[in-house]
Amino acid sequence: MTREAVTREVYITGLGIVSPIGVGQEDFLAGLRAGRCGLAGLQGLDASQFRIGRGGEVDVEALSNNDVDLTEERCLAFALHACREALADAGLDPAALPEDATLALGSGSGEMRASEASLGPPEAELPLDITDPLRPPNTITSKLTRRLGLRGRQISFVNACAAGAQAIAVAADLIRAGRAELAIAGGVEVLSRMSISGFEALRAVSHTDCRPFDANRDGILLSEMAAFVVLEGGERVERRGVRPYARLAGSGVSADAVHVVRPDGEGAGAALALRRALADAGLTPDAIDYVNAHGTGTAQNDPAELAALVSVFGPRTRELPISSTKAMLGHAFGASGAAEVIICALALKEGFLPPTIGWRQAIEGYEGFDFVPNEAREGVRLRHVVSNSFAFGGNNVVLVLSSPEQT
């Protein structure tokens, strides 16, 4: 059977988001357009435990009608809220989904915050007496499928900061191959002592603000988030008569094969993923109108990503709008790639570019590049956009999204 015989278009028909700049699509979009920063001193965790103690926290008061214990299952609460919003946004009744409806979820550390409490109980208690003391990411996936009544595949991804993007890429592949009609895909992450302490130990956390692609950048700020999209095949979208946000045109993955935490300084692995994504979408580099960069704001990652972009887009890179939304949202590991797909879908639908807030001065050698500095850009016609997710271990995932009208 030829590839054409099993290939179908995949569309994003629903969005759900829980973030430090807004819970729900409406507040999230307003925050993006306003260049709102969701990063500040920690309130939900004891900031005195950390050297820096800053990050992006979700306003849990905005999680209306949530029936999950935020102390024990914070990840599940965030993910459930985002999934329900995405299904409602797509005009879907969870009780009437197809039997092959798939859930694909990415998370770097799962319910680590609750695990830390479980594994440090009073001496009279034993971890074996505690239900689900470890709470790895796959337990969130299984609990979500039960809550949502999904009877198709449940797939969990733990490949660090690329996990949410990988979940969306694989779910789309299943739909293209005719293995599922519909999928809910994305990522979720919560702040924990382990994640913050670990990155502070790596000297990767900013003492001030996250400033991607700025000459004076000094690191990331961590955050928590849940971001999920509803993916549907073209035949189903046409049958339902809905207008999608975007078409998921292609995906590309690669491995740096260089180091556990350090990226390939030349950006070769990232460039390979970019080329594979463009090839999968059937597009040339000249067709891309915007790049939502991985853009962490660290000394090593930003130049490596820019090198990859120059390798693929050539001299045109200086004219190509490139922004990093992590200056607003922080870095939420497994959820970041999924949130950035949502940002790209909103950008396509609304015709705007989200800003790189806090940008002041170009990195040497990258003067004159368009990082959409500090203010959103409205009234922009976008046809095809790229979302980059580059993770520890050299896990690279690139997604290409297109306007629904572009075929």
What was the pLDDT predicted at 66? Answer: 67
What was the pLDDT predicted at 49? Answer: 82
Q: How far is CA 14 from CA 126, 345, 399, in A?
A: 43, 10, 17
Cα distance between residue 16 and residue 23, in whole Å: 9
What was the pLDDT predicted at 199? Answer: 80
For the whole prediction, is pTM greater than 0.85?
yes
What was the pLDDT predicted at 203? Answer: 85
Does residue 32 contact residue 350 with C-beta atoms inside 8 Å?
A: no
Cα distance between residue 234 and residue 241, in whole Å: 10
| Active-site annotation holder among 37, 83, 161, 210 | 161
| 207 in active site | no
Cα distance between residue 202 and residue 48, in whole Å: 18
The residues spanned by each domain of the chain are: 3-402
| Active-site annotation holder among 210, 294, 344, 384 | 294
Cα distance between residue 405 and residue 91, in whole Å: 20
| 81 in active site | no
- Residue numbers in the chain where pLDDT is lower than 50: 1-7
Does residue 95 contact residue 149 with C-beta atoms inside 8 Å?
A: yes
What was the pLDDT predicted at 267? Answer: 83
Cα distance between residue 252 and residue 230, in whole Å: 20
What was the pLDDT predicted at 5? Answer: 37
What was the pLDDT predicted at 204? Answer: 84
Q: Which CATH number fits domain 3-402: 3.40.50.720, 3.30.230.10, 3.40.47.10, 3.40.50.300?
A: 3.40.47.10
Give 1: exposed, middle or buried? Use CB within 10 Å, 0-12, 13-18, 19+. Answer: exposed
Q: What is the mean pLDDT of the chain?
A: 89
Q: What is the pLDDT of residues 230-250, one digit of tens each?
A: 999 999 999 999 999 999 999
Q: What is the pLDDT of residues 272-283, one digit of tens each?
A: 999 999 999 999
Does residue 45 contact residue 193 with C-beta atoms inside 8 Å?
A: yes
| Active-site annotation holder among 75, 81, 331, 344 | 331
Q: How far is CA 358 from CA 141, 320, 330, 361, in A?
A: 36, 19, 13, 10
What was the pLDDT predicted at 117? Answer: 63
What was the pLDDT predicted at 2? Answer: 40
**How crowded is the C-beta side of 147, counted as CA atoms within 13 Å?**
19
3-state secondary structure of 90: coil
